[in-house]
Amino acid sequence: MTASQAPLVVVGDALLDHDLCGRAERLAPDAPVPVVHGTRRSSRPGGAALAACLAAADGRPVTLVTALGADAASDTLRELLAGRVGLVEVPLEGSLSSKTRVLAGDRPLLRLDDGEGRAREATQEAVSTIAAAGGVLVADYGRGTADVLRDALTHTAAVIVWDPHVRGRPPVPGVRLATPSAQEARAFARQLDDAEPGDAAGLRTAARDARALVRAWRAQAVAVTLGERGALLSHGETPLLVPTPAAATGDPCGAGDRFAAAAAGLLADGALTEAAVQAAVHAATRYVAEGGARAVAVPEQPEGAEEAPGDGDTTADAVRTAARVRAAGGTVVAAGGCFDLLHAGHVALLQAARRAGDCLIVCVNSDDSVRRRKGDGRPLVPAADRVRVLRALECVDAVAVFDEDTPERILGELRPHIWAKGGDYARTRLPEQPLVESWGGQVLLLPYLDGRSTTGLARRAALSPAPTGGDPR
DSSP codes of every residue in 65-77: EEEE-SSHHHHHH
| Interval 219-240: pLDDT, tens | 999 999 999 899 999 999 899 9
Helices within 191-272 (DSSP H only): 203-217, 255-269
Q: What is the pLDDT of residue 465?
A: 57
CB contact set of 107 (below 8 Å; sequence gap of 6+):
none
Separation CA 249–CA 439 (nearest Å): 6
Q: Greater confidence, 274 or 426?
A: 274
If one counts every other C-beta atom within 10 angstroms of the C-beta of residue 112, the result is 11
Contact 90, 119 (CB under 8 A): yes
Q: What is the pLDDT of residue 306?
A: 39
Q: What is the pLDDT of residue 304?
A: 40
Q: What is the pLDDT of residue 305?
A: 40
| Interval 286-329: pLDDT, tens | 888 877 776 666 666 544 443 443 434 577 788 888 888 887 77
**Average pLDDT, whole number, for the chain?**
86
Lowest-confidence region among 38-52, 194-208, 318-332, 382-396: 194-208
Residues, the chain: 473
What burial letters (b/e) apply to 222-257, b meaning 16+ CB within 10 Å?
bbbbbbebbbbbbbeeebeebebeeebebbbbbbbb
Q: Greater confidence, 292 or 269?
A: 269
Q: pLDDT-derived band of residue 473, with 50, 70 and 90 as boundaries?
A: very low
Q: What is the pLDDT of residue 380?
A: 84
Catalytic residue among 257, 340, 367, 397: 257
pLDDT > 70? residue 471:
no
Instruction: Say whether pTM exceeds 0.75.
Output: no
Q: What is the pLDDT of residue 311?
A: 38
CB contact set of 302 (below 8 Å; sequence gap of 6+):
none
Per the DSSP assignment, residues forming a β-bridge with 364 are 337, 401
Contact 85, 53 (CB under 8 A): yes
Assess whether 403 carries a catalytic annotation: no
The pLDDT of 83-88, averaged and rounded, is 94
Contact 261, 277 (CB under 8 A): no
Q: What is the pLDDT of residue 212?
A: 95
Lowest-confidence region among 37-51, 168-182, 209-223, 370-384: 370-384
Separation CA 384–CA 401 (nearest Å): 9
Q: What percent of the chain has pLDDT over 70?
A: 85
The pLDDT of 119-139, averaged and rounded, is 97
The pLDDT of 321-350, averaged and rounded, is 86
Q: Give the strand pairing for 398-402 and 418-422.
A: unpaired
